[in-house]
Structure 1
Amino acid sequence: MGMVDAHHHVWDLSVRDQPWIKGDEMSPIRRNFGLSDLAVEAREAGVTSTVLVQTVTTADETPELLALAAEHDLVGGVVGWTDLTAPDVADELARLRELPGGEKLVGIRHQIQGEPDPLWILRRDVLRGLEAVAAAGLVYDLVVLPHQLPAATSAAFLLPQLTFVLDHVGKPPIATGEWNAWAGHLHTLATLPNTAAKLSGLPTEARWDDWTVEDLRPYTETALEAFGADRLMFGSDWPVCLLATTYAEVVDTARQLTSDLSDSERSALFTDTARRVYALK
């Protein structure tokens, strides 16, 4: 069974802007990226299935991602966006399921990292929306900064019926070497059985121009200690990863960082956890 890349994106700047891609340092990814660009690199890395993840908070993007998934066998699942605070959120999730590719909708995500309120996820209207996500049999992806992890943990505690997947293991501040607060919050979240995490996005949290595998090792080991391989999954975060490295190097780095694991643990991290958590076809 081939590898699963549990986290990547696509975008077409002629369809809509990606307002977060700004500044000279982001120029390497200020262009279009499609599934055909990824397919060759994924095949060479042994990846046979992926999870395509939203990038912007607009209702139009999710149907587009589902349509792409319907056309490409490489995409096993889509994590889309919908307004969790809308009164008709349950109806909207049902509508998305009826669209072309709707059977591949596996989760919902919101850019919590951009919310100024660190308790955003605990708002009553947001929790109501998360209940609808759970009722629809979907997963909720958490894209948060370390200081937002406590609120995310509280939400996961309040909603044991919903599986929460932490993107990029909570975006640890690798570039500055900060450690304790992130690690403590991560371990607390991982005590809840309805949580999992993605070993993804670490090179872009390090110094882009001079990071090493050893810079990432303590953060990887902490994530493994907290979640175990059976609740941790590999993700490339392509094409964002291109700011710091190549797709092939992301895969090779993950393999180096997990070389001490048993065969069954590596199978979980690179394939089985994602297939189980996202119920990939």
Structure 2
Amino acid sequence: MIDQAHLRERNQALFGVDDAWLQKHREEALEPDLAIVDPHHHLWDRGAPYLFNDYLADIGSGHNICASVFVQCDAMYRVDGDPDLAPVGETEFVNGIAAMSASGAYGSARVCAGIVGFAELRLGDRVDVVLEAHLRAAGDRFKGIRGRSVWDADPTIKGSSQDFPKGLLLDAGFRRGYARLVRYNLSFDAWLFHPQLPELADLAGSFPDTPVVLDHIGAPLAVGVYAGRRDDIFVDWKRNLTDLARRPNVSVKLGGLAMHLFGFDLDAAHRPEPADSEEIARLWRPYIETCIEIFGVERCMFESNFPVDKRGVSYGVLWNAFKRIAAGYSASEKAALFRETACRTYRLVLPR
């Protein structure tokens, strides 16, 4: 059972947002008609709550957000019954929000049109019960499972409200459960650190029929023992990313770079005012362009990672930065990066 008090404490430390500080810099949306599917955001009611109305306020910043995908974050897990089924509570919670959004009463954006949840894959064949419960709870909206395997020998580096064992993606029990995803046409979102990319490459290659989505560009770390080594880490990250891309079932989310793990120090603790979109684009461009160069636009999608990235950048400025980075791409390439890859990956059917 998840210790909710511990989660609240950890998330407040990791994801605290200073709204007054963010309001010190605002921008008009660039290319406001460009259709966007935000393929990675969270909703929760703990620590600093971030719920449907909070996300609606953020996407109302002038960009044309037409749909979103909710990604697992330990929200609203069940406290009663079989603990293996606890994560189904999150899907029930989010599916209700998706139904509210689908009514059209809250705007044209279809929030949570796709849902990525959690199931303990180390259950092996027994995970079928959990996967089927998710599908009963959300039907076609349920698209996949997120697996967090973030681990590093430096214990000061934290990428989750929970701790995970070394080598989780290589674990035989985990892989028995992972093998069940294809039966239900479900994808796998992977959240890990850059030294773990070879483990994901092995997993993706071993199960080529299961779509894999690499979250947050594979997190090239710049904190803890990796601080001050950005150039060397970039070389290692790019090499392993290139190898991972040889698995055609893998795509990558372009975002998450406002997290403390990337070492850009964009939050209020490090800056008197927020960075503008030009500065952010300059800082992030080498990483994002490298991903696009390696994977191609058809396997890359921009993501908000809100409210986690909100610690360092507002929603409007974030998408302006992405649009600046993509300014030199063709209309069809932009369509892939901002909408089509996400729709195809998560099998979203949206009105044109």
- Say if 1:174 and 1:227 are closer, same or farther in 2 by CA, change over 3 A: farther
Which one-letter code corresponds to 2:122 in the other structure? Answer: T
SS at match of 2:115: strand
Deviates more, 1:51-60 or 1:264-273: 51-60
The alignment's C-alpha RMSD in Å is: 1.8
Structure 2 residue 137 is matched with structure 1 residue 82: no
- Say if 1:77 and 1:116 are closer, same or farther in 2 by CA, change over 3 A: closer
SS at match of 1:151: helix
Q: Post-superposition shift, 1:85?
A: 1.4
Runs ≥4 in structure 1, deviation > 6 angstroms? none
1:267 is matched with 335
2:191 is matched with 143
Residue segments in structure 2 that go unaligned for 5+ positions in a row: 1-33, 78-85, 103-109, 152-162
Q: Which of these residues, 45, 49, 58, is aligned with residue 67 of structure 2?
A: 49
Which one-letter code corresponds to 1:182 in the other structure? Answer: W
Structure 2 residue 219 is matched with structure 1 residue 219: no
The C-alpha deviation readout for 1:172-209, integer Å capped at 9, x for no partner, is 23574231111111111111100000011112222224
- The answer to whether the 8 Å contact 2:204/2:212 transfers is yes
Q: Post-superposition shift, 1:39?
A: 1.5
Rounded Cα–Cα distance in structure 2 between residues aligned with 1:70 and 1:84: 28
Structure 2 residue 53 is matched with structure 1 residue 36: yes
1:156 is matched with 204
Rounded Cα–Cα distance in structure 1 between residues aligned with 2:311 and 2:133: 36
- The answer to whether the 8 Å contact 1:118/1:148 transfers is no
- TM normalised by structure 1 equals 0.88
Rounded Cα–Cα distance in structure 1 between residues aligned with 2:136 and 2:221: 40
Q: Post-superposition shift, 1:113?
A: 0.9
Rounded Cα–Cα distance in structure 1 between residues aligned with 2:197 and 2:150: 10
Deviates more, 1:59-68 or 1:129-138: 59-68
Deviates more, 1:157-166 or 1:31-40: 31-40
2:256 is matched with 201
Rounded Cα–Cα distance in structure 1 between residues aligned with 2:173 and 2:144: 18
1:191 is matched with 246
Rounded Cα–Cα distance in structure 1 between residues aligned with 2:282 and 2:203: 33
2:21 is matched with none
Q: Post-superposition shift, 1:64?
A: 2.0
Which one-letter code corresponds to 1:104 in the other structure? Answer: R
Which one-letter code corresponds to 1:203 in the other structure? Answer: A
Which one-letter code corresponds to 2:171 in the other structure? Answer: R
Residue segments in structure 1 that go unaligned for 5+ positions in a row: 14-29
Q: Which of these residues, 117, 128, 133, is aligned with residue 95 of structure 1?
A: 133
Q: Post-superposition shift, 1:116?
A: 4.9
Q: Post-superposition shift, 1:215?
A: 1.4
State the identity as a percent.
Answer: 29
Rounded Cα–Cα distance in structure 1 between residues aligned with 2:130 and 2:200: 24
2:43 is matched with 10
- TM normalised by structure 2 equals 0.71
Rounded Cα–Cα distance in structure 2 between residues aligned with 1:189 and 1:70: 36
- Say if 1:174 and 1:4 are closer, same or farther in 2 by CA, change over 3 A: farther
Q: Post-superposition shift, 1:41?
A: 2.7
